């Protein structure tokens, strides 16, 4: 049992790439393949091609997906992938910063939202961040997210305490449990307890759906 646990800890992260731009896809392939601790699973030029791999490949840990794919869009595909693998982390890569795409991607369960011009080291950092429970978002997009939230009409009374609302806002901004604990001067255990209470009160099971509900109900 102990040996199995060590084996799992040392297992490289299985990364999928879904990108129709060949040059960018090749660049991402090289980045993943040359990085210790990461393993390239599937690299597809369309969402349809990637979905065909769902039944024959091992479940990915993280998917890097273009949002503006030909045929089925990244957001539509994200919904389909989540049906089979609800726990997979999906980072959307895009040239778009418009409000509708950002909001729809988050509602569909995206774990992060990065511009395609994001430097390679930041992409690698984001992969590890989502695995650690974070939600990497390009800063310019994060500002849009906060603006959308500030304009969202409240559809229900906020069931969260002041501290829980504060932590939910930080989750929306992409902070990890560790960064929240440092920012608020509380332990990671305390952050985890608050997050569990947030999920329970919002009747959700993960960060992406909590963020989506925060948007829908104007909770932060």
User: Looking at 122, 144, 166, which one is the last position of a domain?
Assistant: 144
156 lies in the same domain as 101: no
13 lies in the same domain as 116: yes
pLDDT tens digits for range 138-186: 877 777 666 666 665 554 567 889 899 899 888 888 788 888 999 999 9
pLDDT of residue 7: 39
- Is pLDDT above 60 for 115? yes
Res. 4 pLDDT band, cuts 50 70 90: very low
pLDDT of residue 220: 65
140 lies in the same domain as 159: no
CATH number, domain with residue 206: 1.10.10.10
86 lies in the same domain as 171: no
- Identify the domain containing residue 21 by its residue range: 2-144
CA distances 45 to 66, 110, 186, Å, are 9, 19, 44
- Is pLDDT above 70 for 86? yes
8 Å CB contact between 63 and 38: no
191 lies in the same domain as 103: no
Percent of the chain's residues with pLDDT above 70: 86
pLDDT of residue 2: 33
User: Looking at 144, 179, 209, which one is the last position of a domain?
Assistant: 144
38 lies in the same domain as 61: yes
H/E stretch holding 93 reads: strand 89-94
CATH number, domain with residue 39: 3.40.50.2300
23 lies in the same domain as 132: yes
Res. 91 pLDDT band, cuts 50 70 90: very high
Average pLDDT, integer, range 28-42: 96
Residue by residue, DSSP assigns 11-51 as SPEEEEEE-S-HHHHHHHHHHHHTSTTEEEEEEESSHHHHH
Cα within 13 Å of Cα(174), Cβ side: 24
Q: Tell me how many domains the chain contains.
A: 2
């Amino acid at each position: 049992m102990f040996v199995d646990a060590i084996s799992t800890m040392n297992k490289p992260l299985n990364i999928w790439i879904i990108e129709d731009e060949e040059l960018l896809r090749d660049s991402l392939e090289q980045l993943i393949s040359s990085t210790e601790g990461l393993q390239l699973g599937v690299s597809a030029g369309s969402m349809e091609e990637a979905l065909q791999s769902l039944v024959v490949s091992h479940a990915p840990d993280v998917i890097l997906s273009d949002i503006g794919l030909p045929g089925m869009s990244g957001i539509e595909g994200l919904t389909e992938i989540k049906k089979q693998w609800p726990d997979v982390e999906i980072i959307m890569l895009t040239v778009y910063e418009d409000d509708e795409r950002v909001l729809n991607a988050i509602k569909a369960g995206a774990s992060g939202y990065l511009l395609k011009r994001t430097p390679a080291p930041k992409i690698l950092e984001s992969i590890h961040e989502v695995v650690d429970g974070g939600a990497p978002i390009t800063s310019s997009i994060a500002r849009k997210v906060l603006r959308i939230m500030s304009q969202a009409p409240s559809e229900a009374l906020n069931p969260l305490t002041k501290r829980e609302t504060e932590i939910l806002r930080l989750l929306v901004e992409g902070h990890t449990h560790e960064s929240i604990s440092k920012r608020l001067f509380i332990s990671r255990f305390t952050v985890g307890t608050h997050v569990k209470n947030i999920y329970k009160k919002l009747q959700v099971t993960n960060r992406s759906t909590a963020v989506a509900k925060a948007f829908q109900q104007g909770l932060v």
